[in-house]
Structure 1
């Protein structure tokens, strides 16, 4: 019987899996099932260049249609999966049809987190996760309109930057004491608060939203007028199919080092997964393009019996205005934060996070050399001299002790 792989979810992890399966010599049948009517596309540009109208629609696609046609991949787009029948090894679609599989890969990704807020379902309130979300929001962008962004994370601030540059009056409301608090340290948060204020955005931290009413947002610090409201409360992993099928689920679908779930015939990759990361000796759910691509390669190697790719240090990025933030590693557990450059002036610096002298992570703001070098240093568990890190006369390549 010809081996058949069914992939549920049509994001970047799925696209990478298909490419890697071909590179690794898989000759069986591959079927891709996605609930959106689009080829696998990149999500990071949605809140940046695509929202700003600087990126054409077809440039979002990870691969053109011809790529899947050449490989013989069966595309079932705009199709919803109802459940998984593990006993008979089949996927049941919402129209009642069945897709048998030898191997199933869940690449179900994540969705925008909703919040139990009065008025959150009103017209004029938006979330941003899909192409359709962006197109609906972009149609409302008009200079002079007031936009209130609920949530000061990456998506909220990236969208605020685009809106401010297009002439909207933007207010960002963040309940925590600082913006981007789950992803960066206080030094970087303070910089981004300054950056947005310099660009005309009203940043409010320590503010809780009570309700969204017609034309306004009611908060603990008063009332903010709003023609449009964007809720950026983070993302939730899509684990329902896996949970309903009896697979192990934590804050994501539990997978081993080869991206196998608790059922050896089922793999999971991308934002929907929780996996032990040997470099940090902890279980992580990473929402990043890098992780999606890496897990796509890992799963393909495991399915085809090829050697596993070398483990890489996780990294992330965010573009806001003319500033590129590149983050590598994980700063949790650091006991020292060393700054290279001046975060209080200009728009270029880096923060190195150390634990007992060993580099754990780096937040690099318009500092590509520090970012690139740090990937290697973190992987090597390099020990660094804080004094040399601070001294910009020391070349980046000479930072290692």
Structure 2
């Protein structure tokens, strides 16, 4: 069947789905493209929801992936505000909540993730927030910009990326913030104690209060509205609002009901191979919901970051078109907090590395930190230092031992640490 008579369906109205639709048209696909989103908003990007948009620095229109007219101009059919409720793999049909049945020749799942709930008494009170959708950001932005008693802070459960970015946005707006986190520091599992301490100092300097080693036991209220929280350690804190920022779980219910293979507990998500194909050869998955094979016969990993959605959506589209695709990009994310910007490349969870090497001025928060195991770079984070991401990713991808002394020396160009790579290996290190 030629491309003109084929139908490709995308379930999920986020960045991955929108970029997949864009790539299909850019690659010359002339068939029918259908994008299904369970929100009434056209596809948008999520990073601004905890950054510029939440703080009031960005207008609402800036979060959308494409201008409003782009979808009609590119013949992408939008089904918004109507969730997909079932996949009939035998008939190759997607059923929507209103009973509509849409046929597909290839299907892409970009269903994303869902915020985890607090699971403590009082979470039903008005003023308990989650931050995943544009409507969530609208509500929280209204709270933060709406004023209130100076002694009523925002209480954030969780010191991950969302928790820290919202804390920064709230402080920029003058709202007192208390962050409650069961780990010994922020992003402990991702960054470990060394770099986590730098972020702690940054936020404390801007007036954020941290309660590490503690968690919420209950949300308290008056007349159905949040008035404070109680922690497991017995602290009682007033609050105008509570944000649950304790992570998100992949939205796999649709895939599970269709019998697609899922990743094991602890990773979660829809299992896909290096071409982002699921256990059904006609169905692909990308973005937060996809647990990707790291290599032939190797473990699965799920990456929940903007860059993964951006690039994986496009890669999945090319795979749907029958192109040869090996999606093996080095994980990457960025964050902006106050006057600090950072980029992180690689993968070095706590316990995987044996040392951290610093390059630059840590006290001035202008440095690069490298996580090493046996002198191999697992990951690197550049804070207020720019144009080094490509070199960091080359170091990560090369899996070569490096000299830690040279790595720490700002006078030694990072690129020189890979100058002796053979040509073929150098191309691999660049990700080409």
TM (norm. structure 1) is 0.95
SS at match of 1:259: coil
Distance, in Å, in 1 between the alignment partners of 2:385 and 2:184 is 26
Q: Is contact 2:10-2:35 (8 Å) kept? A: yes
1:127-186 Cα deviation digits (max 9, x unpaired): 111111011111112263411111111101100101011111111110111111132121
Partner residue in 2 for 1:258: 275
Q: Is contact 1:288-1:316 (8 Å) kept? A: yes
Q: CA deviation at 1:279?
A: 10
Q: For the aligned residues, what is the CA RMSD? A: 1.8
Query: What is the correspondence of 1:182-221 to structure 2 with a 5 Å cutoff?
Result: 182-214=189-221, 215-219=227-231, 220-221=233-234
Q: Is contact 1:279-1:379 (8 Å) kept? A: no
SS at match of 1:140: helix
Partner residue in 1 for 2:224: none
Q: CA deviation at 1:120?
A: 1.3
Instruction: Name which of structure 1's ranges 307-316 and 322-331 shifts more when overlaid on structure 2.
Output: 307-316
- Total equivalences in the alignment: 400
Distance, in Å, in 2 between the alignment partners of 1:80 and 1:392 is 52
Distance, in Å, in 1 between the alignment partners of 2:205 and 2:199 is 10
Partner residue in 1 for 2:360: 341
Query: What is the correspondence of 1:117-132 to structure 2 with a 5 Å cutoff?
Result: 117-132=120-135
| Residue from 224, 245, 257 that aligns with 1:244 | 257
- Report whether the alignment pairs 1:80 with 2:113: no
Distance, in Å, in 1 between the alignment partners of 2:31 and 2:244 is 43
1:16-50 Cα deviation digits (max 9, x unpaired): 11111112221110101101111110001100000
Partner residue in 1 for 2:45: 42
Partner residue in 2 for 1:226: 239
Distance, in Å, in 2 between the alignment partners of 1:135 and 1:347 is 32
Q: Is contact 1:207-1:221 (8 Å) kept? A: no
| Residue from 391, 407, 420 that aligns with 1:389 | 407
Q: Is contact 1:261-1:268 (8 Å) kept? A: yes
Q: Is contact 1:297-1:309 (8 Å) kept? A: no
Partner residue in 1 for 2:330: 313
- Which runs of 5 or more structure 2 residues have no equivalent in the other structure? 222-226, 420-432
1:170-213 Cα deviation digits (max 9, x unpaired): 11110111111132121111011111110011111101211110
Aligned in 2, Cα 1:132/1:186: closer, same or farther, shift over 3 Å?
Answer: same
Q: Is contact 1:279-1:313 (8 Å) kept? A: no
Q: CA deviation at 1:281?
A: 4.9
Instruction: Name which of structure 1's ranges 250-259 and 64-73 shifts more when overlaid on structure 2.
Output: 64-73
1:67-123 Cα deviation digits (max 9, x unpaired): 222221111111111111112111111111211111111110111111211111211
Distance, in Å, in 1 between the alignment partners of 2:327 and 2:95 is 35
Distance, in Å, in 2 between the alignment partners of 1:331 and 1:150 is 24
Aligned in 2, Cα 1:132/1:245: closer, same or farther, shift over 3 Å?
Answer: same
- Report whether the alignment pairs 1:181 with 2:200: no
Q: CA deviation at 1:372?
A: 3.2
Aligned in 2, Cα 1:391/1:221: closer, same or farther, shift over 3 Å?
Answer: farther
SS at match of 1:92: strand
Distance, in Å, in 1 between the alignment partners of 2:283 and 2:158 is 35
| Residue from 95, 104, 108 that aligns with 2:111 | 108
1:279-310 Cα deviation digits (max 9, x unpaired): 99531000012211222222222221223266
Distance, in Å, in 2 between the alignment partners of 1:207 and 1:353 is 27
1:294-330 Cα deviation digits (max 9, x unpaired): 2222222222122326632111111111111211011
- Report whether the alignment pairs 1:299 with 2:319: no
Partner residue in 2 for 1:322: 339
Q: Is contact 2:274-2:325 (8 Å) kept? A: no
| Residue from 97, 119, 135 that aligns with 1:94 | 97
Partner residue in 2 for 1:367: 385
Partner residue in 1 for 2:74: 71
Partner residue in 2 for 1:235: 248
TM (norm. structure 2) is 0.89
Partner residue in 1 for 2:166: 159
Distance, in Å, in 1 between the alignment partners of 2:417 and 2:210 is 36
